[in-house]
């Protein structure tokens, strides 16, 4: 094999590795079709994102043992957001991507009990123990929030609000990015702050 051919082969292999790495780390892109997925809910029933085309969908990555998540549930902030969204026809999905043996991993029955005890009101609670959906969206933290509009495009991703602490007293001072995004979507306006920095505990993927 000539030197030139060897260089071409090496370049092709390198490009292949880079493409594979890029694909593995790919996150959902704003103003593009939201990555589709099939999931199993905490109630054991199948859930497909594509079934909700025509509706706004919120995806909330959660881990009940994370103090940042606890802040939003213990204060009633997250349940209130969920109920307000439901009242406006928004489909709210919790996603549990903690792997077996990792912090926050629960089975479906336990997830349902946790929601009942916290007065949570998501439309669906999705079990993602292999992290497939989380990695598809590039979910990094709990909470990490994503919003898909009625056309099926991702229009928001990032933090729930502007103050990255686990202190309940900061809620009143924070700008709630999710509420603002949902308000903009409901009036047909573009989301002003569509890409913000997520905060919280790292998603407890396997490995």
pLDDT, tens digit, for every residue of 94-105? 999 999 999 999
CB 174 within 8 A of CB 199: no
| Angle ∠(112,114,116) on CA atoms, nearest 5 | 70
CA distance 56 to 53: 8
Domains of the chain: 28-202 (3.40.30.10)
Bridge partner list, 154: 148
For 162, which DSSP code?
Answer: S
* Closest listed residue to residue 161, CA positions, set 188, 200, 201, 190: 200
β pairing state of 124-127 and 91-96: parallel
- pLDDT tens for the chain, 207 residues long, are 444 444 433 433 333 333 333 334 457 999 999 999 999 999 999 999 999 999 999 999 999 999 999 999 999 999 999 999 999 999 999 999 999 999 999 999 999 999 999 999 999 999 999 999 999 999 999 999 999 999 999 999 999 999 999 999 999 999 999 999 999 999 999 999 999 999 999 999 998
CB 124 within 8 A of CB 36: no
């Amino acid at each position: 094999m000539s030197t030139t051919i060897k260089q071409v082969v090496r370049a092709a292999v390198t490009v292949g590795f880079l493409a594979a790495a890029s694909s593995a780390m790919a996150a959902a892109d704003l103003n593009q079709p939201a990555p589709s997925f099939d999931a199993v809910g905490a109630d054991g029933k199948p859930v497909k994102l594509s079934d909700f085309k025509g509706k706004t969908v919120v995806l909330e990555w959660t881990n009940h043992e994370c103090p940042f998540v606890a802040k939003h549930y213990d204060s009633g902030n997250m349940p209130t957001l969920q109920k307000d969204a439901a009242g406006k026809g928004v489909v709210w999905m919790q996603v549990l991507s903690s792997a077996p043996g990792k912090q926050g991993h629960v089975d479906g029955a336990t997830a349902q009990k946790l929601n009942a005890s916290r007065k949570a009101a998501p439309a669906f609670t999705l079990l993602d123990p292999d992290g497939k959906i989380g990695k598809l969206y590039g979910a990094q933290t709990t909470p990490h929030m994503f919003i898909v509009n009625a056309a099926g495009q991702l229009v928001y991703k990032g933090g729930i609000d502007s103050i990255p602490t686990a202190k309940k007293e900061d809620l009143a001072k924070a700008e709630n990015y999710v509420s603002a995004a949902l308000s903009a979507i409901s009036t047909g306006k573009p989301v002003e702050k569509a890409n913000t920095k997520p905060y919280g505990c790292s998603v407890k993927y396997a490995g």
